[in-house]
Amino acid sequence: MATRSSTLLLSSKIKTEKMEDGKLSGPAPKKVRESDENSIKMKIFNDSVHGQIELHPLLVKIIDTPQFQRLRHLKQLGTKYMIYPGATHTRFEHSIGVSYLAGCMVKILREKQTELNITDQDLLCVEIAALCHDLGHGPFSHLFDGMFIPAVGADRKWEHEDASLDMFNYMLKKNPLMKEMEAYGLEQDDITFITELIKGVKIKDDKDEWTARGRNEEKSFLYEIVANKRNGIDVDKWDYFARDCHHLGIPNGFDLQRLLRSARVCDVKMNKKLWKSICYRDKVADNIYDMFHTRYTLHRQALQHKTGYIIDVMIKDALVAANEKLRPRRKISDAIDNMADYTKLTDHIFDEILQAPEHLDLKEAKVILENIVNRRLPKFVGEARLDEEKLEEKLKEEQPHLELTKAYKRKEYQTILKNDWDEKNPNKKIADKDLEIYVVDLGFGTEENPIDDVYFYNKRHPNKAFRMEKWQVSELRPNKFHEWIVRMYYKNTKQDYQGEQLEGFQEWCKNTEFVEEKAKKPHEKLQKHIGKDDKKNPGKIFNDSIHGQIELDLVLVKIIDTPQFQRLRNIKQLGANNHVFPGATHTRFEYSIGMAYLAGCLAKVLQEQQKDIISDQDILCVQIAALCYNLGEEWKHEVASVWMFLDIVESEKNKEEKEMKKKKTEKGKEERKKPFNLDEDDDLDFICELIHGEREKISSRKNKPFLYEIVNNTWNGIDVRKWDYFARDCHHLGLSNSFDYQRLLKSARVCEVDEKKHICFKDTVADNVYDMFHTRYTLYRQSYQHKISNIIEEKIAKALKTKVKIDFSAITATHLLEDINSKITRIKRPRGQKKKPDMESVVGSVEAAMKDFTKLTDHIFEEILYSTDEKLKDARKEIEDIVNRRLPKFVGEAKVPSSFEYKSTQELKVVIMDHGMRVGKDKPKTPFDKVYFYNKRNPDKAFEIKEYQVSSLMPVKFDELWVRVYYNKKTDEEEKGEDDAPAICLYGDQEFDGESQMITEDCTSLEEQYNINEVHSCDVIDGRWNLYRDVDYTGDHYTVVDTAYPNPAGWGADNPTVFNDSIHGHIEVHPLLVKIIDTLEFQRLRNIKQLGAGYWVYPGASHNRFEHSIGVAYLAGCLIKSLQEKQAELKITDGDKLCVQIAGLCHDLGHGPFSHLFDIMFIPEIRGSGFQWKHEMASVEMFQHMVKTNELREDMIVYGLNPDEDLLFIEELIQGVNTCDTPVNTSVNFHCDLFSCVSFEILNVL
């Protein structure tokens, strides 16, 4: 009973405590305005990392400004997408993720500790600051402020956080956001608070006073959420750890949910004064180490990658060379002082320099960028740890009074080391001009032990903060947490020169004082570099975010390093979908590499099973075709891809011919080389046919028609194109993918069908074929044909018509094919034979137009947006409409056009939804048409699935037309309706009994205005309300919003227990549920496997009814909580919610051994088929037994339940009641209104 009185006391103190003069105040603050569209307050984003997340309407308004939309064009990891193909994610999606996590943190603290008085304005300010914290990043993220700005000698102390503040203020000035902020209760102090959160506030060691102006020291903990200057633990890191690992394909050992759920505010003593700070449970200390170690891993493997770093340096050099020349009368670096110019500064500057007109004199910058595109990079020699103390001493000698940022310190260290190399160069044959020295810093983000500045609490004393002592910390942790690294690169690529450079670097490391002594171990004698003819090079390994570590033949790598292929880095895989799904930033570049990998896997599987039907050269050709399939994307891409592939081959051949003129063999003959190891008489035609996909026109490999089914399968539509993009698109969109391509891949086999060889699959994977086509339909339905992305695509198309001056009208399919034939003829001509006039391009305009086409990328969006050309006014208007979200609004859709009645302001769009089977006159009727299978007994005999073998649960149709209706909205006012009046009903007794009073406006004293002395329950009709303890809105208060509060349990006084669930992550479980879980009756479920005997077939099927039941209880709570928040008129009480969760938890108590085997097979066998018994009946009986044995009735009373009524309600929920045709038990009238609308349906839905 102690628990009960404590709970009631806490509730009483918050809501019902009576003042000495007998007065209790109850004001209602400003009503929070609802969003315009359908009165839905929050907008849902589908995030690829956090899933479905809700954002406040004000955040959406900020997102829809040009200043925030600019972040779509700033890659999160800068240039690292040139190393990791999957690293295409942007600051846009990262900022949304940080805002979401910041909101989660504030809400968790507010729910756990109401005494913190966290207001809605506090929450909103923190979310806005998190959303806007990266507004100031420049092109290629940290490259701009970390390398470029110091290199041009601009402001030594400027950092991107400064620009974030400037851009935030500029955004407020250029957009009508102040009115929106005022509408949601934000004032000037809140704007100050937001800017302080973005910049970060740190308590200085020598001062006790609080310097921030946005919030007082009682809310100092709020400054630790977005940019934590005290210990570095903030939601910015939490998001980028998860997001970067997700896109890089690097395992993430840090579980952010564990820290998030354990966060709590305690009083922490700093500088002889107590400050409120965020602390964490002592048991998550290891997680904090994991967090900082994850940061180190990311920096070591990706952010400071040795090749990525030299690309950063080269781009920095290009920007420096272009700084005063790219834009007339103003430098690139001057943009940091002009936010109008800075808004236009994005990653697009790379293409802007590369394609700049000749009169701008950007030759030096262009050459540097062309070297990057063609992968002509300085080679890595080696690296060594530096002695920072000695470098600091040297720096103080030279510049004793200079305070430097880390970026400028790095620059000075490089100068010191370069001078030291010049003085101590052990091998004078190594020219200084051929070597470059760079310094990078790696670490945990702090130079000290990251745990030193983190405070913890324990279970017994949740409000007492303490630091970890040394004896409490594992000795297996590192002693250092930060280091400086020197790296050396060389430019001379001669084979005999490479060994000398490496030896020289190692000798210098032993002689210089600036390299750590521990790093100066004796080096083994260097092995001479193996020449290209001494050993076959195994290929290059790529880290793919979908397929992991994949190895590609060097021939493929050579194609990848061409400008034609590198262009695909700037073409998004899903086009305009990036404007709807923030995570859809992946490109045709990574998709093409994934296709080449899967094509090789499938071809090798076939080769291993049937070695005589496929050669290594066949595999190479198939992989090249897969790699080059997307080269012509954005136009009739299969044909254009063929043209661009041949353009690569022709360029390679011309390059080799020039080299061969300089080199002669000993016999005086030219050395014969095949471009990309391809047979010009056979392989070229084969690859072109594979890309084009025209089986009817096969001219090569006629005896191997199955090879044409790997890349672009026009026979039945099953190919590696779909296998990769299903997995890749779902991964980046955050959608579930039910299709397992590995099952088809591993079972593939070549069989003969009608005297032709086809790829067939084992009959056991037939369902996977349907899953494949169904996944395609799902992707089209949810993403590719998204109702908004279709509109955005149309507006982009209109803009392109004005901007793109290439005369595509002259490039018909016939003309392009003629030019392709000419290319093939030119490539095949004997070496030394002069070109003939009839061998030139059949259509002269085709060659020039296609050359221009290769320069077209997604960057044209920004070219139009930031153009000042008057001729592009209409095109710019279309793009600005997209950025500012001035789009036609979606009304509805239907399969039957005649079902719509629409006004003149509305327009119709027709979209096709299908499962993506092969199109044409012989289009399959079902996914199984023209798909052949084999069985285990006879693997060489192919057959089609018969109709009676196909599940009757499959759809009967596989394509359909949908009509969508949109209307054009002129102004926001057209959509605004009258706001509902805020209202709250107060009751004198619990369960909404006693004297009641409806309140619809602010009031300073409930007793004086309404004669109310005590409030024991309330029902919020509309709006957000604060009930204050004192009059005139002073003293403690409690916020209530859009729900009903029947009794003390509704005041959130109970502390839930957190479970780490393998599916749902960290979930909070009510204390009463924990008591049930800890009974013998529930613990029994640990020994009953969820899938019964299924674990004998599937080794991973070891999960049990215990974890499933907890998961059901959690989801039941989520669903009823969502209904409770959205529809207050349902009057769902917290008691209802708790009952539903208990029923969810206990619904499987009655399962017997091996789950359904017991009641479906065993019981009927023993008792006879007439015996009526189901496990639900046993669940009710077991529940009753558990309540009686463990005296749970008393615990139910403590948490506000009425056992006499609620136990029957729970039993009916477990048993299942169909409220549509079954009368409700009259003994539970208290829940009658709930039966027909909420509770009895919830478990069945789950």
The tokens describing 234, both together, are 């903030």
Q: Is 248 exposed, middle or buried (0-12, 13-18, 19+ CB in 10 A)?
A: buried
Residue in 520, 493, 516, 498 with CA at minimum distance from that of residue 507 = 520
Distance CA 211, CA 198 (A): 15
- The helix/strand/coil state of 575 is helix
Distance CA 455, CA 465 (A): 6
Residue in 579, 790, 575 with CA at minimum distance from that of residue 64 = 579
Indicate if the alpha-carbon torsion angle 13, 17, 21, 23 is positive or negative: positive
CB 574 within 8 A of CB 783: yes
List phi, psi (to 5°) of 612.
-85, -5
Side-by-side strand order, sheet with 273-281: 264-270, 273-281, 456-457
CB 1195 within 8 A of CB 1075: yes
- Where b means 16+ CB within 10 Å and e means fewer, 777-802 reads bbbbeebbbbbbbbbbbebbeebbeb
CB 255 within 8 A of CB 290: yes
Q: Write out the DSSP string of 48-69.
A: TTTEEEEE-HHHHHHHTSHHHH
Distance CA 966, CA 952 (A): 37
8-state DSSP, 1104: B
Distance CA 762, CA 782 (A): 31
List phi, psi (to 5°) of 1132.
-75, 125
Distance CA 924, CA 825 (A): 37
Q: What is the dihedral of CA 142, 147, 153, 156, to 10 degrees?
A: 50
Q: Please name the residue ranges forming H helices in 175-284.
A: 177-183, 188-199, 235-248, 256-262
Distance CA 303, CA 295 (A): 10
Catalytic residues: 160
Residue in 72, 70, 110, 144 with CA at minimum distance from that of residue 221 = 110
Distance CA 1016, CA 993 (A): 9
- The helix/strand/coil state of 710 is coil
Cβ neighbours around 1124 below 10 Å, total: 21
Q: Do β-strands 456-457 and 273-281 pair in parallel, antiparallel, or remain unpaired?
A: parallel
**Termini Cα distance of the chain:** 35
Distance CA 694, CA 712 (A): 9
Distance CA 17, CA 15 (A): 6
Distance CA 750, CA 933 (A): 10
List phi, psi (to 5°) of 974.
-60, -30
Compute CA 171 distance to the chain's CA centroid, rounded to the nearest angstrom. 25
Strand partners, 136: none
The vertex-276 CA angle with 275 and 278, nearest 5°, equals: 130
The tokens describing 837, both together, are 């006039």
